[in-house]
Amino acid sequence: MPRNLDLAALRSFVTVADVGGVTRAAGFLNLTQSAVSMQIKRLEDSLGQSLFSRAARKLALSAEGEQLLSYGRRMLALNDEVLSRFGSGVYEGEVRLGVPHDVVYPAIPGILKRLAQAYPRVRVNLVSSFTLLLKDGFARGEFDVIVTTEERPDPAAEVLSSRGLVWVGAPDGAIWLRRPLRLGFKDTCIFRPIATAALDAADIPWEMATGGESEQAVEATVAADLAVTVRMEGTLPDGTAPVAAETALPALGRTSLCLYRGGARRDEVIDTLIAELRCAYRA
């Protein structure tokens, strides 16, 4: 007698593997944590295999789980494609998402991939810019959803998390010792006035080492130990590192990661995108 895999349980397994934990997976799937755990246990029982190694404190895939993950992704992709093409609830059109450059990675690529698999007829257009421009565009109706980084969120914002701001330089760099302190920022970077105000209050002279709107130029200058910049904790560019805490540079406070949702479009696609962003950026 042929047996059938439980696709709901398989989806829970794949989601736990992708997001790194049962709690976060429950948020993505709109299920309780216990329901996700029960589905994975049911899947393990049906296969007669342990899919996760539970010896370590961190949840990790077993060898059998690694094998199933590849099959599971393909099976779910085919399932979702069939339902999208032949089901009555086919979603089409365009979703316009805006995200600041410094928080695109690592979350956004995975979110876009999962949306494309679940809604193959929907085009998701991503704009990466800085918060002030994203908010201006949002006010003009140019975006369905935006993520922002800002000190004082608007009343309409959904604050996802609060993160500390840190000085960032080259690994083992020494440019932070130079006076005037060399700074690397885009002209319109929201962290630029925060940094300069903190330096002015601490009587530390400074000068700009970069100009214009090229994020790549800023990151290259900082990685070359020619300037320091400011980022949120956990969003440092490749080739950079936090400036040592014992340095004489002033504290910068905290900033908020926020979510703004437009009112023009209300459907399952937007709801799914919002759920993904919440799980990715909440503390």
* 109 and 28 part of one domain: no
The number of folded domains in the chain is 3
Confirm whether pTM is higher than 0.75: no
pLDDT of residue 121: 81
CATH number, domain at 15? Answer: 1.10.10.10
pLDDT digits (tens, 9 = 90+) for 65-121: 999 999 998 998 888 777 767 765 567 788 999 999 888 888 899 899 888 888 888
The angle at the Cα of 142, spanning 141 to 147, to the nearest 5 degrees, equals 100
Percentage of the chain with pLDDT > 90? 50
Q: Tell me if 92 is assigned to some domain.
A: no
Distances (CA, A) of 58 to 21, 41, 52, 121: 9, 18, 10, 37
Q: Tell me if 2 is assigned to some domain.
A: no
Q: Characterise 212 by phi-psi region: left (phi > 0), alpha (psi -120 to 50), beta (else).
A: left
Residue 196: domain span: 162-254
pLDDT of residue 57: 62
Ranked by mean pLDDT, the top range of 52-66, 164-178, 252-266 is 164-178
pLDDT of residue 134: 92
Q: Tell me if 201 is assigned to some domain.
A: yes
